[in-house]
Amino acid sequence: MNVVIPKENLENETRVAATPGTVKELIKFGVEVHVESQAGLSSHISDKDYEESGAKIVDSKEKLFSQADIVLKVLPPTLDQIVLLRPKTVMVSFCQTTRDMDTVKALKEQSVTGFSMHLIPRTTLAQKMDALSSQANIAGYKAVLLAASRLGVYMPLLMTAAGTIRPAKVLVLGAGVAGLQAIATAKRLGAQVEAFDVRPVVKEQVESLGAKFIEVESHEDEGVGEGGYAKETSEDYKQRQQDLIHEHISKADVVITTALIPGKPAPLLIPRTMVQSMKPGSIIMDLASENGGNCELTQKDQIVDHNGITIDGTSNIPGLMPVHASELYAKNITAFITYMIKDGELNLDLEDEIISGAMYSHHGEITNEQTLEAIKI
């Protein structure tokens, strides 16, 4: 059975779906690993590194895809890649199936079995496969460093001969994996940190990192959805949320937004009027830019200057740390694919919660309910 690792073909994608370490792990399960030439270049992995780990290097993309039984990627395959695949090939990658519908339809028509790393269930058994969390962790960390590098003030409190410098104020909106890492990183840099989340259950985690939790009084489960993710809230709650954020954002030097709702556009937390109340020189790092952004002025992959306030819409922040981003992603995707390999053969147990949960197309049919609903709309 052939597992293939193509080179990511989008210009700003620096990650790769396998490292020499995960190639060795895959080979232990009785498969052959084929890597497209220069696939790991942006992550500082050479063809020689892959060869020494037991992989075969393939120069031709057409040859690579045509001999694939399993394809491991970071981003969803492009249409020109999909047509090269044989029926019953297995494709594993990130894929927002309610948004990347052309990809889903093309895989269905090609009778390719599609798995999305976005759909891995949040269970204890699937923890080591949770690529969303591993990449979000990097995004939260790097976003704070990017903001600090652009900020015109110090992050920590400083006592100098010329006087005392107050610490920067950082506001984190959304206390999931990315938000918690942003809090921890900002605190390490000495900033004064506040955090907001619609889920009251995260208050203890926020406070354990040394940040102040700001909250809207509500029913305990108001913003808590399936699997611990956030869900949409009532209109009354949204208005009180806006008032609370407005009060705190006007004092912030840095705002990190991370709020996402699975399968839906990112919630709007910072309208234009709120941005206009911020101090000149302050910075918004919008980690939800790929899904529309939490700030009304965010433009995906653009840095916007609005009256002296910077709004950074970089969508692939993990790609700015390609070595560790690739290492972690490769471990996640390898844990998932080896979970399904028995004696060198793929065993697709459709009764298994992890396998069925992550699958969105199989035998020419779309199998994920949310994806089906999105396509019908």
- Of 38, 47, 49, 122, the active-site residue reads 122
What is the pLDDT at residue 232?
A: 62
- Amino acid in position 137: N
Look over the chain and give the mean of its residue pLDDT values, rounded to a whole number. 94
Percent of the chain residues past pLDDT 90, beyond the cut:
87
- Of 229, 237, 352, 370, the active-site residue reads 229
- Residue 277, pLDDT > 90, answer yes
- Residue 276, pLDDT > 70, answer yes
Average pLDDT over residues 283-288: 98
Domains of the chain: 2-129+322-372 (3.40.50.720), 136-320 (3.40.50.720)
What is the pLDDT at residue 159?
A: 95
For this structure, is 229 an active site residue? yes
For this structure, is 315 an active site residue? no
For this structure, is 122 an active site residue? yes
For this structure, is 360 an active site residue? no
pLDDT category of residue 234 using cuts at 50, 70 and 90: confident
- Amino acid in position 183: I
Write the pLDDT tens digit of every residue in 138-158: 999 999 999 999 999 999 999
Average pLDDT over residues 84-101: 96
This prediction's pTM? 0.93
- Residue 230, pLDDT > 70, answer no
The conformation of residue 43, written as its DSSP 8-state character, comes to G
Q: Is 277 in contact with 246 (CB distance < 8 Å)?
A: yes
- Residue 218, pLDDT > 80, answer no
Strands 2-5 and 70-72: parallel
- Residue 127, pLDDT > 60, answer yes
What is the pLDDT at residue 177?
A: 97
Q: How far is Cα 291 from Cα 265, in angstroms, rounded to an integer?
A: 5
For this structure, is 130 an active site residue? yes
Beta pairing partners, 5: 35
What is the pLDDT at residue 233?
A: 66
Query: What is the secondary structure of 56-67 as a DSSP string?
Result: EEES-HHHHHHT
Q: Is 268 in contact with 241 (CB distance < 8 Å)?
A: no
- Of 96, 100, 130, 253, the active-site residue reads 130
